Structure 1
């Protein structure tokens, strides 16, 4: 089953003086493939056009602004932000990949979603997850620089795919939320994210309780 995309934005302006942009700007769309198989994006190239410079005025250099992004089709905005925060946590720890442990931290960093509130109510905090992550995986090499978007581990990829499949199996409308994402992490029994959750007291009973809470009208605040 083809996996669903999640939003990712990268803006790069190749110029020394970005404040000298002249309008109007013209743009066109081109297909572009992003690193992960479930990310399909588009590349937007914006080429500025300039009028003839006035006498005694230094001509402006043409600039090119390139925006690479993937349009979200089914993920809630909080789930998208949690994913982005997970990538950032992986980079902070100087890890080469975004694993299930990073996705878990991303959920807690976003903080306003139902899954994060449920975890905190059960004593599972960001600080505890960070500490358990370092215990389990160790510290990253201080001289290593993580890529801007650390690629997903196989377990993290499967967790995301599980979230999509679970939403489809439910037959319910709406978007894929952080609850689906957390339960996807829990489905990966041998992954670091699962082991950390289990160490901190999460279990199948709590997973079912969270699932039940998220199915109640008005309880899932991930529009």
Structure 2
């Protein structure tokens, strides 16, 4: 193993109580190394990295991009009315896309949106579904029964585009929030009501098969502006 010394200049010393010393640069020794493995016969060179000592350790910050909107045709209206999608709605949508990919479907449909709500699991809509006997396993099973299995060798796109009923369901969710006339969040309850509004869609048919009806959904509609778990009476 070979080592080669390298001098790096920093603008301020790390330890010093001498006021004059802070005006003078200090040197630190870094080492570049060549690592070899005789068994594999490989050699990896690690170049030296220069840095400045500034008297304190700075933590690296990572900037994460978070999607604050869902792909609806009502985006401009949402912006004008100071509305936003709840974090649970956004996560439910992300899980819906993932579920569509797992099932190797070319699109994200209302059935995937329904599964997304159940996978997120902490919202008012998710609890409503569970309390009425609608589980993720049952929805997956009914989805396959209704739509069939996808081609084994088909690969879904990273973000499967929405079907027309799914797009309409998102738009309906926005309209439901607008009816309240108040600012705030578009919740998973709005989203579930949007799925229910598409009575020819797979998501609607699955909900009907599993026992959901207008009377049961009226309970959810009373608290649709909230996205926290409440008990239904």
Gaps in structure 1 of 5+ consecutive residues: 1-53, 61-66
1:214 is displaced (CA, Å) by: 3.5
Instruction: Please report the TM-score for the alignment, with normalisation by the length of structure 2.
Output: 0.64
Partner residue of 1:91 out of 101, 106, 109: 101
* 1:167-186 alignment runs, 5 A limit: 167-186=177-196
SS in 2 for 1:175: strand
58 and 182 in structure 1: CA distance in 2 versus 1, 3 angstrom threshold: same
Partner residue of 2:198 out of 188, 196, 210: 188
SS in 2 for 1:165: helix
State the match for 1:221 in structure 2: 228
1:153 is displaced (CA, Å) by: 0.3
Distance in 1, Cα, partners of 2:154 & 2:193: 31
SS in 2 for 1:98: coil
214 and 167 in structure 1: CA distance in 2 versus 1, 3 angstrom threshold: closer
Deviates more, 1:200-209 or 1:185-194: 200-209
User: After the TM superposition, which segments of 4 or more aligned residues of structure 1 sit over 2 Å from their partners?
Assistant: 54-60, 67-73
Q: Deviations over 1:192-223 (max 9, x none)?
A: 000000000001111111111335xxx6318x
State the match for 1:33 in structure 2: none
Contact 2:190 2:224 in 1 (8 A): no
1:120 is displaced (CA, Å) by: 0.4
SS in 2 for 1:133: helix
Q: Deviations over 1:175-197 (max 9, x none)?
A: 00000000000000000000000
Distance in 1, Cα, partners of 2:189 & 2:140: 20
Tell me: higher relative CO, structure 1 or 2? Use CA pairs within 8 A at least 6 residues apart.
1
State the match for 1:38 in structure 2: none
Q: Deviations over 1:30-78 (max 9, x none)?
A: xxxxxxxxxxxxxxxxxxxxxxxx9987599xxxxxx876443610000
Distance in 2, Cα, partners of 1:76 & 1:105: 17
State the match for 1:149 in structure 2: 159
Structure with the greater alpha carbon radius of gyration: 2
SS in 1 for 2:160: coil
